[in-house]
Chain A
Amino acid sequence: MKPLSKKSNSILFLLMAVFNFSCDNQEDEKPQCYSGTVLNQISCNSDNGLAFVIQVAEQNLTDTIVTTTLPKLYQSEGVKIFFKIRKPQYPLFCTTNITPPKKEYDIYNVSNNPCSNE
């Protein structure tokens, strides 16, 4: 096979770099701080535990999210929390009497106090 030229190598490198960046999870890279209210437990489950619905205050996340990483300390209806999110680590399964959640995240750095976006 004929070796690639220097120019071809450079183009290939640039394409791969662009591809890698586009696939990266920006939530992991630049975690944003959210606030919300614990609504209720729903009949979903994963390795992490049972699932809770959180009403998110910020506009850039629609309505509610479902998480299985809500610490026990905050597992009460109406509790206000501050948290960061990332893609869920484990698959979620639910009973089939409900519409499955559209937005599912693992939440972390959960606190009663506002967190920083820095």
Chain B
Amino acid sequence: MNRKILIILYLVLLTVSVYAQKVSYYWSGNKKIELTVDSSAFILLTRNVTESDALLKSVEGIKSRKALRSGFVLVELEGKFIDANRIKGNNSVRNFNYSFRSSSNGKFIPTGEILVHPKNGFSITSIISKSLSNLSIQSLSEYGDFVLRVEDNSNVLAVANLIYESGLVEYAHPNFIAEIILNQNDLLYPEQYYLNNTGQFGGTAGIDVNAPEAWLLSNGINNVRVAVIDDGVENHEDINGRVLQGFTPTNPNGFGAPLAAGNHGEQCAGIIAATTNNTLGIAGIAPCAQIIPINIFNGGEAIPDLVAAIDFAWNQGQADVLSNSWSFTDPNSEFDAITQAITRARTQGRGGLGSIVVFSSGNNQQNFNGVMFPGRANGVVTVGAIDRNGNIWNYSSRGASMDLVAPSGNVNNAGDVRTTDRMGANGLVAGNYVTTFGGTSAACPQVSGVTALMLSINPTLTEAQVVNILRNTATDMGASGFDNTFGTGRLNAQAAIQQVLPTIGGGNILCTSNSNYTLSFIPANTTITWSVSPSGYFATTSGANTNGTGGTATIRAASNFAGSATISFVIQGNCSATTITRTIWVGTPQISNRRVNGSSYHGPTHICPGNHWLQVTPLGTTNNANWTVQSGVPFFVTPNYLDFTMYSNVSSIAITANASNVCGTGPNAAFYLMRKTWGCLSYYSIAAYPNPASQELTVSTVSTLDLSDAKMLFGDDLKDSPPVPSRAVLIDEQGKAVCEGQLVGNDFKLNLKGLKRGLYYILIYVDDQVYKEQILVE
């Protein structure tokens, strides 16, 4: 069989059966990876944040929402989502899909893209035929990897599977935003609910500090120093040589090492600085952090010793962050000497930028009101503790000086925070890791860790800037805004890191002249390389290039390409590398998301006489589409929508849309619309509801026009009343009938009890036509 026949056969199969495929899996490693629909979460893409905000205000029971890459919003709900059609039908929605879960309960969020690598000899245009014009090429790497976009994200699994099953590609699978939990290989990481709460141990998913989301942005660039002022820290297999020589105020030869009974500092240090992805132990928040151990529990430390500890940290120890999980026990204890040492750290540390001083709020709430000293000292970042469901712990001291909270366990060795223990016989338990850490002690180093991660990326921030970012990016909890219990809210590592990353300056649209794209800052002691993708969109003339070194990229568009492209700067520091990316548009705009009456436009389309609407989404411009309508056709334009009327005496209509930007006007996108000559439903529509459904599904036909209007449009085709469907049947993803509808009055009723949860299709037979709608059964 030659290649041409093979492609034709594949395309026919693809066209005929794209919607009938089993979609709850994808192919990878030549095996099916099974997924289940998670209707308690959905992913949404609108044209801008304002639109998604407005849309989500009307959705009840939102538990959390996270901004993801590429403008997507992941929305998690208290219960199941019951009004998907209303969201999907909103004009501002560019993409919608449910989230999926793997067999191990990992979350898979489809982006509406498919990653494809054609086999040798097969071109991508062969695979994307005109009959599948709902696929567009997003990007092409220099290694021949394509990113395709599906116009309707709800089909992404089915389309990806059909492409893979064609045999024409090396691989084809959806692009997912998978939870980082699947990628962290530290053995105890799945139990570190404070970093990534998936509901383990009966907790509430999302009540965490967004650590994996932050690591998606950066693991740090340069080393950063954190003084752990505590009962000492010694090196550990999971901190990997990053415990430096420290200080013991009451023992010149102590160097911050713990005494026999000291384990608390070791536990704090692990939360801050444990190595990530080393198949060992836990994941620390800031793996570029170096620990300066300072032991203030050597025995007999007086106030001057505590002052000396703080001063050593910022001065000789050159600590960027001072982490303090300790407090005085008497609510009246307050010592100006300590407050002044803290002020010195905040103003003179880090060469005058100021070290950040973090303290736990104390565990005294059941005995006294108010944050314990030094947690309430001026300028300190004060951290309280919440449980894994987001409730403040009854012990967590609180008051007007609160700043943040972080998840933690109970106190008195009854906690559940996983962290490092001293190694071997020195440890509290066998195995080098403890599972019982808690109190505000375990909350404080989470803030210290995030602070260290911020400074590892951007060491030029002042103490005040860092503290403001921590406060302003916290996830609000309790009463709206600041309150004495939660402060400004739960620590949000992702939001904080987002604030400190370099940005790429330059225009949103690149034309065929040289333009500079420049990093907003370059961290000291780093090397920078940059590149663009797909490189074929760019020209390499007149000093422009597709890759280079340094903080400025000079690029220009190739004259014969237009599309979305990515510019990447890789910042390599003495600890790790961070990639900063920016998506820009290259060339003139393109028209995407062509829809006729809400359905994707795949080519010449037959429509009945009556009123219809077209929709497009211009890419690469903020301008609206320009429409050109065949003469004699009544129409009305609203931005990117066109309402028009097809009369019964018109056989076809051609309508085109294009858009302009600073580079010029893009190509026309045409709609070819032919009048149906038979079987028009005329003046009614079909509805299947509710969707999702759990108990019963109803199928109805509903009048949509006045009789006088209908007569003008349909003439002899007019029927007296909406026809009653002759049959309604539910089929599963394999096409097998699983439920037959029963006629009750003019409606069909389908009893869904006993059906497995999942995606189905309802087939509705009206006159000589069959209509199909996707139904989610829960």
Q: Are A96 and B297 in contact (CB under 8 A)?
A: no
> Which of A47, A49, A93 gathers the greatest number of chain B CB atoms within 10 Å?
A93
Interface residues of B in 408-443 (CB under 8 A from A): 411-413, 415, 437-442
Interface residues of A in 69-118 (CB under 8 A from B): 90-102, 104
Q: Are B296 and A45 in contact (CB under 8 A)?
A: yes
B328 touches which of A49, A50, A92 (Cβ 8 Å): A92
A64 close to B (CB within 8 Å): no
A95 touches which of B264, B333, B335, B367 (Cβ 8 Å): B264
Q: Are A92 and B329 in contact (CB under 8 A)?
A: yes
Taken together as a complex, chains A and B put the C-alpha atoms of A94 and B442 apart, in Å, by 14
Taken together as a complex, chains A and B put the C-alpha atoms of A50 and B413 apart, in Å, by 19
A48 close to B (CB within 8 Å): yes
Q: A47-B301, A47-B302, A50-B299 are in contact. Are A96 and B326 (CB under 8 A)?
A: yes
A45 touches which of B301, B335, B411, B415 (Cβ 8 Å): B301
Q: Are A96 and B301 in contact (CB under 8 A)?
A: no
Interface stretch among B358-366, B598-606, B735-743? B358-366
Q: Are B299 and A94 in contact (CB under 8 A)?
A: no
Interface residues of A in 9-63 (CB under 8 A from B): 41, 43-50
A45 partner residues in chain B, CB cutoff 8 A:
296-297, 299-301
| Least CB distance, B384 to chain A, in whole angstroms | 10
B363 partner residues in chain A, CB cutoff 8 A:
96-100
Q: Are A96 and B333 in contact (CB under 8 A)?
A: no
Taken together as a complex, chains A and B put the C-alpha atoms of A99 and B415 apart, in Å, by 12
Taken together as a complex, chains A and B put the C-alpha atoms of A98 and B415 apart, in Å, by 10
Contact with A along B119-132 (1 / 0, CB 8 A): 00000000000000
Q: Are A96 and B328 in contact (CB under 8 A)?
A: no
Taken together as a complex, chains A and B put the C-alpha atoms of A92 and B395 apart, in Å, by 18
B300 partner residues in chain A, CB cutoff 8 A:
45-50
Q: Are B441 and A96 in contact (CB under 8 A)?
A: yes
| Least CB distance, A71 to chain B, in whole angstroms | 13
B325 close to A (CB within 8 Å): yes
Q: Are A43 and B297 in contact (CB under 8 A)?
A: yes
| Least CB distance, A98 to chain B, in whole angstroms | 5
B364 partner residues in chain A, CB cutoff 8 A:
99-100
Q: A95-B231, A96-B325, A96-B360 are in contact. Are A50 and B438 (CB under 8 A)?
A: no
B327 close to A (CB within 8 Å): yes
Taken together as a complex, chains A and B put the C-alpha atoms of A50 and B333 apart, in Å, by 18
B1 close to A (CB within 8 Å): no
A47 partner residues in chain B, CB cutoff 8 A:
300-302
Taken together as a complex, chains A and B put the C-alpha atoms of A50 and B299 apart, in Å, by 5
A92 partner residues in chain B, CB cutoff 8 A:
328-330
| Least CB distance, B764 to chain A, in whole angstroms | 63
Contact with A along B248-274 (1 / 0, CB 8 A): 000000000000011010010000000
Q: Are A95 and B411 in contact (CB under 8 A)?
A: no
Taken together as a complex, chains A and B put the C-alpha atoms of A81 and B395 apart, in Å, by 32
Q: Are A96 and B299 in contact (CB under 8 A)?
A: no
Taken together as a complex, chains A and B put the C-alpha atoms of A95 and B327 apart, in Å, by 6
> Which of B264, B267, B361, B442 gathers the greatest number of chain A CB atoms within 10 Å?
B264
B113 close to A (CB within 8 Å): no
B387 close to A (CB within 8 Å): no
Taken together as a complex, chains A and B put the C-alpha atoms of A41 and B297 apart, in Å, by 12
Q: Are A96 and B444 in contact (CB under 8 A)?
A: yes
| Least CB distance, A21 to chain B, in whole angstroms | 23
Q: A44-B329, A91-B330 are in contact. Are A96 and B362 (CB under 8 A)?
A: yes
Q: Are A97 and B441 in contact (CB under 8 A)?
A: yes
B326 touches which of A46, A90, A95, A102 (Cβ 8 Å): A95
Q: A91-B333, A104-B329 are in contact. Are A97 and B439 (CB under 8 A)?
A: yes
User: Of all chain B residues, which has the CB nearest A41?
Assistant: B261
Q: Are A91 and B328 in contact (CB under 8 A)?
A: yes
User: Of all chain B residues, which has the CB nearest A102?
Assistant: B367
| Least CB distance, B383 to chain A, in whole angstroms | 10
A104 partner residues in chain B, CB cutoff 8 A:
329
B415 partner residues in chain A, CB cutoff 8 A:
97
B230 close to A (CB within 8 Å): yes
B366 partner residues in chain A, CB cutoff 8 A:
99
B333 partner residues in chain A, CB cutoff 8 A:
91, 93
Q: A95-B230, A96-B440, A100-B364 are in contact. Are A49 and B299 (CB under 8 A)?
A: yes
Taken together as a complex, chains A and B put the C-alpha atoms of A51 and B341 apart, in Å, by 25
Given contacts A94-B326, A96-B444, 14 further A-B contacts (CB under 8 A): A43-B262, A44-B329, A45-B300, A47-B300, A49-B300, A94-B329, A95-B264, A95-B325, A95-B441, A96-B326, A96-B360, A96-B363, A97-B439, A104-B329
Residue positions of B touching A, CB distance < 8 A: 230-231, 261-262, 264, 267, 296-297, 299-303, 306, 325-330, 333, 335, 360-364, 366-367, 395, 411-413, 415, 437-442, 444
A-B contact pairs, 11 of them (CB 8 A): A47-B302, A49-B299, A50-B299, A93-B306, A95-B230, A95-B441, A96-B326, A96-B439, A97-B325, A97-B412, A98-B411
Residue positions of A touching B, CB distance < 8 A: 41, 43-50, 90-102, 104
Closest 4 CB pairs of A and B: A97-B441, A100-B329, A96-B360, A97-B439
